[in-house]
Amino acid sequence: MMRTFSLRINGRGNAWPILIGQHHPFYDLRGAPDYANASHSILEREGEGKIVKDILIDAGHGIVPFLLRHGNRIPDALLITHPHFDHTLGMDWIIQSYYRFRKKKYPVYATKGCYEQILRTMPHLGELCAFTELSYGKPVRVREAGEGMTVTAFPVYHGVHARAAAMLLVEIVPAGPRVLFTGDVLVPMLKKSDIGALHNVDWLVTDANNRFPYPKTNHWSVVRRHPEDGKYMEPWLQELTESLLMAPHNFQNYTNYQYLLDFFRDFPEKEDYIHTVLDFATRIKPRNLLLTHYSGLEDEKYYKDALLDTSGLEKWAQQALNNDQLAVNVKVPETGAVISLGKK
């Protein structure tokens, strides 16, 4: 039987997408609940029919109501980008559900530093998880996926407290679709050969907290060009050092340590680091770009630039990429959207 793959948007919010008591034009409270944090599923179906596998990427606030309302099916495994609550807080409910139904430990894939940090905040999960460590740059098979699927972690800097934060490349192998989930990131730390290998990735799914730089949020921006951007970029570039980028990563693990050394060898000058979604897209030329995790609050506060709604952000981002002659299709998805990734 032919298998089809799709990418489902389970949520698209940043941390606390709407503060209780407030309103935000991006998040519609009138329709279906739209408050889950950025979370995605790679779904595998038999033909066009029922879902046979659901591999979940990140599980923050709101993922549980989303899953209950969209098929009420426990995902088969969980891949985590980094240990912030808006990417992990739903783990408890998902893992407890699985354990009580199946009397089995729940498969979790993450870097070691990320997993340790999760257990520090939710220690009881240690007993209930079957953990697989992701080392930087090494593809790992996701055993619970029906067809061949691998996940590869690459280090990112997302603030000193985001322990061993990573972007995750999910590939249907051999020769199937490739989707790169950046998770939250301020500075990607990929070595040159990996940037080369990511060329023409099918989907780049990335965090767009703000359109313009405000590095104090520990998130990158979509673009850098704004007459005012130096005010916020210059102090950050001065404070940016190798040891700062290294701080959240795992020094004990040799594989990871070597990867970081290779990154600094490839990019000895901090001027060459990637600082925006546009920079990254220019280097890897994804076929499609998906923006999630939008807040815009810093654009409003520091750049006096309005908050956008879904289509406003999509139009603006498409224009920004077109201005650089980047033939990349930009999409700002609605929660619940299902995007076809093709057949195998």
Compare residues 161 and 265 and give the one whose CB is closer to Zn ion. Answer: 161
Look at phi and psi of residue 304 and say left if phi exceeds 0, alpha if psi is from -120 to 50, else beta: left
Compare residues 114 and 284 and give the one whose CB is closer to Zn ion. Answer: 114
Structure tokens at 215: 């590095």
At closest approach, how far in Å is the CB of 117 from Zn ion? 12
Does residue 86 touch Zn ion according to CB under 5 A?
yes
- Report the C-alpha dihedral over residues 276, 333, 312, 28, rounded to 10 degrees: -120
At closest approach, how far in Å is the CB of 148 from Zn ion? 29
Compare residues 84 and 191 and give the one whose CB is closer to Zn ion. Answer: 84
- In angstroms, the CA 115 to CA 94 distance is 16
Q: Count the residues in the chain.
A: 344
- What does residue 265 show for φ and ψ, rounded to 5 degrees? -65, -45
- What is the distance in angstroms between the CA of the first residue and the CA of the last residue of the chain? 9
At closest approach, how far in Å is the CB of 197 from Zn ion? 25
- What x/- string results for residues 56 through 85 when contact with Zn ion is judged by CB under 5 A? ----------------------------x-
At closest approach, how far in Å is the CB of 184 from Zn ion? 4
At closest approach, how far in Å is the CB of 1 from Zn ion? 37
Compare residues 171 and 184 and give the one whose CB is closer to Zn ion. Answer: 184
Residue span binding Zn ion (CB under 5 A) among the ranges 124-132, 181-189, 226-234, 300-308: 181-189
At closest approach, how far in Å is the CB of 37 from Zn ion? 6
**H or E element: which one contains 316?**
helix 310-322
Task: List b or e across 132-159, with b for residues whose CB sees 16 or more CB atoms inside 10 angstroms.
Answer: bbbbbbeebebebbeeebbbbbbbbbbb
- Supply the DSSP symbol for 89: T
Q: Binding-site residue total for Zn ion (CB under 5 A)?
A: 3
| Residues in region 116-155 near Zn ion by CB under 5 A | none
Does residue 184 touch Zn ion according to CB under 5 A?
yes
Does residue 163 touch Zn ion according to CB under 5 A?
no
Summarize as ranges the residues that interact with Zn ion (CB under 5 A): 84, 86, 184
